[in-house]
Structure 1
Amino acid sequence: MTTLNVELGTRSYPIYIDSGLLTNNSLLTQHIRGKRVCIVSNNIVKPLYLATLKAKLSAFQVDEIILPDGEAQKSLANFDVIMSHLLANGHGRDSTLIALGGGVIGDITGFAAACYQRGINFIQVPTTLLSQVDSSVGGKTAVNHPLGKNMIGAFYQPKAVLIDIDSLSTLPIREFNAGMAEVIKYGILGDGDFFTWLENNIEKIKSADKNTLIEMVKTCCQCKADIVAADETESGVRALLNLGHTFGHAIEADQGYGNWLHGEAVATGMVLASKLSVAMNLLEASDLRRIETLIAAFDLPLIAPESMGFEEFICHMRRDKKNLAGVLRLIVPTAIGQSEMRDDISEEMLQQIL
């Protein structure tokens, strides 16, 4: 088993990565506070893994909240469903929430944990590739609003992240490929050697070779953990993790949450950011071609929706959380393995790209 640590002083926590971890009760129970546990999951994950998880919690009083599946469920309405359940069932400050599912479940459960009685413990048990390599680590919790993705939330760290690589075996191929967008992101923004490793291991990844997947997830989590430890609340280097996300969030909000998967939108967003960087003479065209080739290898979209023009993009991009004093700030790659934030990108330049 691989164990990584997110170093945040008294709020540090471990990330466990291996196969078969859902059947290892000691890893989970050592991070539970008190005797009350509430598992938050969705209707797709429930029949696959809920019973297995609950079987390891026989020493605790366990109840559950099952939400519908999909990005559209990461809403204030379902946040209220969780709050109402916790209150109606007498959960206190010594209760522990467990997020069993993908990024939507992890984000909304973490936000509920941050808010309920001003903060209770929670544990991440991510079951999708995207949540395993990205959203379960780092303490970003949120719900969506029709006017913007993740605009209502909090920085709130879990007590542990339990990544069972076996859960990827039940993941639909489209969801797996969407997760690969976040994997590729780490190679583009800060680890050129990892990008090359991905290029050299495309077939092993697609065939779900277990050791290859463990190595891939481990590398992504270590990168994320290092960045979060250096900049927990995104005041500096952590913003680089948003490569492709400003464009991607605009696509998700415009097209309706869930019609484009988050990873699909991010993939297109990274291509747009790379094209912008080439136009600014910051990125070589040959690097753009490598980026497009690797993204396309996992059947991810390279082109934005036909219905979206400049006006549709810019109205969402102006609300981006990275913007300061009304100035657009975008993450662009400057080489394979290097990226930077720029605040000198005019709307006229964006219009040419879009």
Structure 2
Amino acid sequence: METLEVNLGERSYPILMGRGISQRIADDLEAEYARGRRVAVVTDANVATVLPDEIRKVLERLPVFTVAPGEQSKSLTVFGELCEFLARERVDRGGVLVAIGGGVVGDLAGFAAATFLRGIEFRQVPTTLLAMVDSAVGGKTGVNLAAGKNLVGAFHQPRAVYCDTALLDTLPSREFAAGMAEVIKYGLLADAPLFERLEVDAVRDSRHASLSRIVGRCCEIKAEIVRADERETVPEGGRALLNLGHTFAHAIEAVAGYGEYLHGEAVAVGLVAAAVLSERLDLVDEGTLRRVRAVLEAHGLPLRLRAALPAQRLLDAMQRDKKVRDGRLKFVVLERIGSAATRAGVASATVGEIWSELGAS
């Protein structure tokens, strides 16, 4: 097992990484319970059926709130139900909320932890690749509105994150591929050697020899960016760079309907869109877009919309993005493979043309 520290002063916390660390997870939960703390768990119905025996045994003694799998559970309605559950279980300010699941579970549980009793401790046990390399680290929590993704939320750092890559063995191939979209994103924005490695050796399942190292590297990148800009407040670059491809992706999810695309699938299309935009702005050479498409395709990810979506609705959804400031939408663009920047002032006509290229109507 390896440990990476997310250095945020008094809010610092460890990311524990390795294959087969479920016993450590179980031991830590058991220790909190033995201390008399009120420990509650949030998971989803699919995850609950495939947990290792060590964790399952501990959960038999704890109150568990189970949500339906999928993005639809990341809603204000389910958030309210979770808070009522915590109240019924008499979780107090010394309590601990544990998220065991993918990004939906982690974001939902984190937001509840940030707001219930004005803030309680929570821990993340991500069970998807996407959550391990991205959503479980960094303290962004929240739920979706019909108007857009993650429009209601809070910054609330976990006390620990446990990344056991053995938990990915039962992950469906489509879900695994969706997680690789975020891995590819990290290579594009901050680590050219990582991207180049993925070009020659695609990672298609949890048994890949490099997976643990790749998860660790993505966590390192995110931890450093979060340390420097925890609440995404710097005027240029900073934590906003982690949204490479996401301005397009969130619009796809909102317009198509949450759950139609897995988040990573929408991100993959968004990465193509970001590369096209970067090329249109003369920021990258002609081969960059080709390389982005090739590596996404090698990992079984979509390169364009599966079915036409109205371009105007996509543009409208982008205007509700969290990165809009003073009515101006800021995009994350590539400067080259391994380096990204933020850019405002992109003409809506240009964005509309890109949507058309990707299959919008």
Q: Distance in 1 between matches of 2:241 and 2:29?
A: 31
Residue 50 to residue 39, structure 1, CA distance change in 2 (3 Å): farther
User: How far apart are residue 22 of structure 1 and its match?
Assistant: 1.3
Gaps of 5+ in 1: none
Matches for 1:25-174 after TM superposition, within 5 Å:
25-28=26-29, 34-49=36-51, 52-56=54-58, 62-174=62-174
- The 8 Å contact of residues 34 and 95 in structure 1, kept in 2 or not, is answered as no
- The 8 Å contact of residues 114 and 154 in structure 2, kept in 1 or not, is answered as yes
- The 8 Å contact of residues 23 and 56 in structure 1, kept in 2 or not, is answered as no
* TM-score (norm: length of structure 2): 0.93
- The 8 Å contact of residues 34 and 94 in structure 1, kept in 2 or not, is answered as no
Please list the CA deviations of residues 24-46 of structure 1 after superposition, one character each: whole Å capped at 9, or x if unmatched: 23445567775211110011001
- In the alignment, what sits opposite 1:239? 240
Matches for 1:273-312 after TM superposition, within 5 Å:
273-312=274-313
Q: Distance in 2 between matches of 1:161 and 1:57?
A: 18
- Match 1:228 to one of 223, 226, 229: 226
Please list the CA deviations of residues 179-210 of structure 1 after superposition, one character each: whole Å capped at 9, or x if unmatched: 000000000011111111222321xx225335
User: How far apart are residue 241 of structure 1 and its match?
Assistant: 0.2
User: How far apart are residue 57 of structure 1 and its match?
Assistant: 6.7
User: How far apart are residue 293 of structure 1 and its match?
Assistant: 0.3
Query: Which amino acid is the alignment partner of residue 177 of structure 1?
Result: A
* TM-score (norm: length of structure 1): 0.95
Report SS of the residue matched to 1:90.
coil
Q: Distance in 1 between matches of 2:36 and 2:154?
A: 24
Please list the CA deviations of residues 83-103 of structure 1 after superposition, one character each: whole Å capped at 9, or x if unmatched: 111111211111110000000
- In the alignment, what sits opposite 2:359? none
- In the alignment, what sits opposite 2:196? 196
Report SS of the residue matched to 1:308.
coil
Query: Which amino acid is the alignment partner of residue 13 of structure 2?
Result: Y
- In the alignment, what sits opposite 2:250? 249
Q: Distance in 2 between matches of 1:88 and 1:224?
A: 36
User: What's the C-alpha RMSD, in Å, of the aligned pairs?
Assistant: 1.6
- In the alignment, what sits opposite 2:213? 215
Q: Distance in 2 between matches of 1:52 and 1:280?
A: 53
Residue 232 to residue 352, structure 1, CA distance change in 2 (3 Å): same
Residue 108 to residue 332, structure 1, CA distance change in 2 (3 Å): same
- The 8 Å contact of residues 31 and 159 in structure 1, kept in 2 or not, is answered as no
Please list the CA deviations of residues 187-246 of structure 1 after superposition, one character each: whole Å capped at 9, or x if unmatched: 0011111111222321xx225335411011001001010100111001130000000000
Q: Distance in 2 between matches of 1:337 and 1:30?
A: 42
- The 8 Å contact of residues 42 and 99 in structure 2, kept in 1 or not, is answered as yes
Q: Distance in 2 between matches of 1:156 and 1:239?
A: 17
Q: Distance in 1 between matches of 2:354 and 2:221?
A: 30
Gaps of 5+ in 2: 356-361
- The 8 Å contact of residues 99 and 106 in structure 1, kept in 2 or not, is answered as yes
Q: Distance in 2 between matches of 1:102 and 1:316?
A: 25
Query: Which amino acid is the alignment partner of residue 91 of structure 1?
Result: V
User: How far apart are residue 15 of structure 1 and its match?
Assistant: 0.1
Query: Which amino acid is the alignment partner of residue 352 of structure 2?
Result: Q
- The 8 Å contact of residues 65 and 82 in structure 2, kept in 1 or not, is answered as yes
Q: Distance in 1 between matches of 2:197 and 2:280?
A: 27
- In the alignment, what sits opposite 2:358? none
304-313 or 160-169: bigger deviation: 304-313
307-316 or 32-41: bigger deviation: 32-41
Q: Distance in 2 between matches of 1:9 and 1:274?
A: 36
Query: Which amino acid is the alignment partner of residue 42 of structure 1?
Result: D
Alignment length, in residue pairs?
350
User: How far apart are residue 302 of structure 1 and its match?
Assistant: 0.6
- In the alignment, what sits opposite 1:2? 2
Q: Distance in 2 between matches of 1:133 and 1:208?
A: 13
Residue 30 to residue 134, structure 1, CA distance change in 2 (3 Å): farther
Query: Which amino acid is the alignment partner of residue 77 of structure 1?
Result: T
- The 8 Å contact of residues 41 and 65 in structure 1, kept in 2 or not, is answered as yes
- The 8 Å contact of residues 165 and 210 in structure 1, kept in 2 or not, is answered as no
- The 8 Å contact of residues 176 and 204 in structure 2, kept in 1 or not, is answered as no
- The 8 Å contact of residues 19 and 165 in structure 2, kept in 1 or not, is answered as yes
- The 8 Å contact of residues 176 and 205 in structure 2, kept in 1 or not, is answered as no
- The 8 Å contact of residues 29 and 57 in structure 1, kept in 2 or not, is answered as no
Q: Distance in 1 between matches of 2:70 and 2:354?
A: 31
Q: Distance in 1 between matches of 2:329 and 2:38?
A: 45
